[in-house]
Amino acid sequence: MPTLRTAYGGPPASGDAAPAPDPAAAERALALLSGRPLVVLTGAGLSTDSGIPDYRGPMAPARMPMTYQEFVSGPDARRRYWARSHVGWGRMRHAEPNPGHRALARLDPHLLITQNVDGLHERAGTRSMVALHGRIADVVCLDCRATSSRAALQQRMAVANPSYAERHGAATVRPDGDVELDDTDGFVVPACEDCGGVLKPDVVFFGENVPAPRVARCYDAVDALAGSGGALLVAGSSLTVMSGLRFVKRAARAGVPVVVVNRGATRGDPLATERVEAGCSEFLARLAP
């Protein structure tokens, strides 16, 4: 699976050491955010309580993503991608929203921007949101651009590769729904049912750009905070790459307060008005009881 949080920047790195928790910082952050219009930016750290591992937490090992360029380079790369995805997605699809997702749905921010592709914000009931990197539940044909359901493709792969997922059931799950798996020879990858073309998950791979209309909508929401006395809340993102960090920079330049809640240091810490070393679920449950 792609490392979606590296849509801009270098390969993923293991998480930095976590700062020492400061209980007073959490209290200041809660007071700062209370009653304000909010834009919320979420990352993989928000979904760890749903059993989905992250890429850059304090204990996360370094992993190399498959790039878009590698994916389109030929059938061997695509076979490796889809074989791993077939095994892992069967588990990821059963993940449930955790208390952090549900708290954000209750909070109902002006806009929720997520870097995650797991669809858990939608399932928790968040109404106004941008899935910056798309959703892993959707598939697109690179030839005719037809979109289809990942669930339907999963069934087609199961028919074409009987018992494959069961044989590799012990493989380690990776953050974006795939698994650690080297032996993918012989895996049969279905083609587009409309034109016979190449199928790709409808998400932003490393090496691709986030669609401009999504970015523009997010910038507009952040810009509106400056005139409304609002704040930007970052929950569970290392902000390692520009895909998410640009919104923090935009807010900071406009004088908008920025609160960063994460386990482990983030690239946005120098720009934060308040930095809270804490799990997302515990903090958000207090923000939106």
Of 1-5, 108-112, 162-166, 237-241, which one has max mean pLDDT? 108-112
286 in Cβ contact with 28 (< 8 Å): no
pLDDT, position 173? 63
Q: What is the mean pLDDT of residues 49-75?
A: 75
* 218 in a known ligand binding site: no
Distances (CA, A) of 93 to 40, 89, 117, 152, 189: 24, 6, 11, 13, 20
141 annotated as a binding-site residue: yes
The structural domain count of the chain equals: 1
Please check the confidence at residue 192 and state whether its pLDDT lies above 70. Answer: yes
Q: Which residues span the domain enclosing 217?
A: 4-287
Work out whether the CA dihedral 90, 91, 94, 99 comes out positive or negative. Answer: negative
Across residues 201-212, what is the average pLDDT? 93
Which pLDDT score, from 0 to 100, does residue 174 have? Answer: 61
CATH, residue 79? 3.40.50.1220
Give the tokens for residue 17: 């050491």
Task: Give the pLDDT confidence of 226-247 residue by residue, as tens digits.
Answer: 999 999 999 999 999 899 999 9
- pLDDT digit string, tens, across residues 1-36: 333 332 323 333 334 456 677 889 999 999 999 999
Ligand-binding site membership of 280 (annotated): no
The Cα–Cα gap between 199 and 196 comes to: 9
- Answer yes or no: 133 catalytic: yes
In the numeric block, which tokens belong to residue 49?
A: 């309580």
Question: Distance (Å, rounded) from C-alpha 132 to C-alpha 95?
Answer: 20
Q: Give whole-number Cα distances, 238 to 1, 12, 45, 57, 127, in Å.
A: 19, 11, 8, 8, 24
Query: Which entry of 86, 121, 133, 168 is annotated as an active-site residue?
Result: 133
CA 215 to mean position of chain CA atoms: 15
